[in-house]
């Protein structure tokens, strides 16, 4: 192994820049030449691949997003474009590749690995959604959760001042992880996610009782997957007689200074990825599970459905039984 490259694919997360920094510095420490691929798989096709040095990654650890940009590439799904990508890697004698992305990106990675056997690829789960099977943690999740916590704390100030109900819609695609953890850790009164069945008549009885006992405002955290934020706000007006507002947090959840945890996780993920490339391990995804980092086959990760941890789900179920 002489030349290795890194790319980011799919939704960006805070912590990707920390990963880039570790990638370049740890590669150089191990006498490898690091390359950066710009614009994700799109840049791999378009030959946007440059060698990188210390100056390319200095001063980026505290910045969200990704310096080398990202994309959701449609072209990479087509074999003819992947052939071009492979030629671009061969021209630079790149035989090791690190991919930061989600399960969509890992499906592309599987194809690339099947079609270019000499290439060793290590995936690093990176998505704020935390919805990748086989890993308990994806890079960027802690920063997103802290951004949401900050937003909900701020919304609580105005909710309590006016005596309103706020329905706060959070990202996560089809997965309710972000919504569930945010609802629990911000003391919300309601949490609606696809993984937990809920009964609004039960909520009505419980929240009405709280209102009668003096509760003046309500915080509801709702997963974007349910597409029912407006409807839920209307429910607060109709069923509880409380003025309500909807706040869709949106892309603010994807940016911002990475937390200490995400910086550290970026370092660990990349270190394990490069060590595996040096050992010439078969292409895999570096997962965090059972308190440690382990390599898992791409098909075990990209083609399986993530399930939220049972203990968390149990806590989430209490929202509807209080």
Separation CA 77–CA 105 (nearest Å): 10
Q: Is 46 a catalytic residue?
A: no
- The active-site residue, picked from 129, 131, 142, 262, is 129
Residue 127, interface with ligand F6P (CB under 6 A)? yes
Separation CA 158–CA 168 (nearest Å): 13
Q: Answer yes or no: are the C-beta atoms of 243 and 164 closer than 8 Å.
A: yes
Residue 106 CB, nearest distance to ligand F6P (Å)? 13
Separation CA 264–CA 304 (nearest Å): 27
Residue 140, interface with ligand F6P (CB under 6 A)? no
Which tokens is 94 given? 């790149």
- Of the candidate residues 171, 193, 242, 277, the single one contacting ligand F6P (CB under 6 A): 171
Residue 169, interface with ligand F6P (CB under 6 A)? no
Q: In which region does residue 105 sit, left (phi positive, over 0), alpha (psi from -120 to 50) or beta (all else)?
A: alpha
The residue assigned the tokens 């953890």 is 181
Residue 145, interface with ligand F6P (CB under 6 A)? no
User: Cα 160 to chain center, whole Å?
Assistant: 31
**Within 87-116, which residues bind ligand F6P (CB under 6 A)?**
none
Residue 199 CB, nearest distance to ligand F6P (Å)? 26
- Interacting span for ligand F6P (CB under 6 A) from 29-37, 75-83, 171-179, 184-192: 171-179
Which tokens is 132 given? 């990748």
Separation CA 58–CA 61 (nearest Å): 8
Strand, helix or coil for residue 303: coil
Q: For 203-246, give the secondary structure using H, E and C.
A: HHHHHHHHHHCCCCCEEEEEEHHHCCHHHHHHHHHHHHCCCEEE
Q: Answer yes or no: are the C-beta atoms of 163 and 244 closer than 8 Å.
A: no
Residue 299 CB, nearest distance to ligand F6P (Å)? 21
Positive or negative torsion for Cα 31, 32, 34, 35: positive
Q: Answer yes or no: are the C-beta atoms of 130 and 138 closer than 8 Å.
A: yes
Q: In the complex with ligand F6P, which residue's Cβ is closer, 40 or 172?
A: 172
Q: In the complex with ligand F6P, which residue's Cβ is closer, 171 or 192?
A: 171
- Interacting span for ligand F6P (CB under 6 A) from 56-64, 166-174, 193-201, 240-248: 166-174
Residue 174 CB, nearest distance to ligand F6P (Å)? 9
Residue 85 CB, nearest distance to ligand F6P (Å)? 22
Q: Alpha-carbon Rg of the chain, whole angstroms?
A: 22
Strand partners, 37: 49
- Of the candidate residues 25, 42, 103, 129, the single one contacting ligand F6P (CB under 6 A): 129
- Interacting span for ligand F6P (CB under 6 A) from 89-97, 160-168, 170-178, 190-198: 170-178
- Of the candidate residues 15, 43, 172, 258, the single one contacting ligand F6P (CB under 6 A): 172
- Of the candidate residues 22, 120, 164, 254, the single one contacting ligand F6P (CB under 6 A): 254
Active site (catalytic) residues: 129
Residue ranges that bind ligand F6P, judged by CB under 6 A:
11, 127-129, 171-173, 224, 254
């Amino acid at each position: 192994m002489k030349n290795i490259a890194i790319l980011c694919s799919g939704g960006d997360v805070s912590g990707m820049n920390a990963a880039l920094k570790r990638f370049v510095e740890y590669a150089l420490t191990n006498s490898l030449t690091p390359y950066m691929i710009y614009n994700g798989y799109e840049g791999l096709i378009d030959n946007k691949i440059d060698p990188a040095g210390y100056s390319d990654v200095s001063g980026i650890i505290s910045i969200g997003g990704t310096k080398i940009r990202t994309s959701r590439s449609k072209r990479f799904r087509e074999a003819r474009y992947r052939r071009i990508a492979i030629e671009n890697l061969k021209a630079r004698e790149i035989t090791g590749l690190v991919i930061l992305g989600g399960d969509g990106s890992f499906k592309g990675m599987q194809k690339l690995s099947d079609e270019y056997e000499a290439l060793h690829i290590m995936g690093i789960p990176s998505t704020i959604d935390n919805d990748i099977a086989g890993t308990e943690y994806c890079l960027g999740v802690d920063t997103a959760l802290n951004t949401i916590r900050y937003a909900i704390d701020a919304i609580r100030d105005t909710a309590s001042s006016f005596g309103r109900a706020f329905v706060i819609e959070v990202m996560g695609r089809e997965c309710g992880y972000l919504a569930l953890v945010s609802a629990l850790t911000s003391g919300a009164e309601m949490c609606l996610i696809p993984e937990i069945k809920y009964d609004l008549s039960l909520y009505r009885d419980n929240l009405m009782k709280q209102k009668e006992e003096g509760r003046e405002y309500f915080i509801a955290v709702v997963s974007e997957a349910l597409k029912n934020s407006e409807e839920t706000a209307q429910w607060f007006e109709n069923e509880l007689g409380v003025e309500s507002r909807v706040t869709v947090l949106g892309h603010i959840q994807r940016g911002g200074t990475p937390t200490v945890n995400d910086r550290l996780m970026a370092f660990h993920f990349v270190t394990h990825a490069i060590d595996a490339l040096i050992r010439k391990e078969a292409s895999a995804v570096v997962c965090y599970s059972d308190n440690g980092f382990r390599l898992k086959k791409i098909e075990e990760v990209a083609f399986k459905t993530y399930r939220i941890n049972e203990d968390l789900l149990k806590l989430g179920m209490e929202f509807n039984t209080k």
